[in-house]
Amino acid sequence: MKISTKGRYALRMLIDLAEHQNNEYIALKDIAARQNISKKYLEQIIPILNRADILIANRGFQGGYKLAKAPDKYTVGDILRLTEGSLSPVPCIDQNPINCSKSEDCPTLPIWKGLKKVICDYLDGITLQDIIDEQMTRSADNYVI
């Protein structure tokens, strides 16, 4: 499984919003500059996040975006499912019931199910707040006089 640029950039954008939240809207150009991501590319990700009610948008002079909920309410798994569609390592386990003629005798099916569980459990256990907290801890550990 590979995470696309869309998934990685959406995650970086939401982390940036979480880091810079102060109850004001943040301009997309500021996020793009801090993250070194094309504003045009972020504009393609915004509709996905808006449809999922992750962002609150404000147009106009003081316009921009902010998170709809606190950073501890968004998991990496949720964000990647929005942008990637699935976290499954193989397509057959996304079907319920599994619609494969070999599923009854497939020796690898339990492996793929187990891998999907590990991936989902891991990514669903990390929130945007966890990422920010980890980043702050690393920054504090690197303090030099």
The conformational region for residue 53 under phi > 0 = left, psi -120 to 50 = alpha, else beta, is left
In which domain, by residue range, is 61 found?
5-141
Q: How many structural domains compose the chain?
A: 1
User: What CATH number does the domain containing 21 carry?
Assistant: 1.10.10.10
3-state secondary structure of 26: strand
Residue 38 has a pLDDT of 95
Residue 143 has a pLDDT of 62
Residue 24 has a pLDDT of 86
Residues of the chain with pLDDT under 70: 141-145
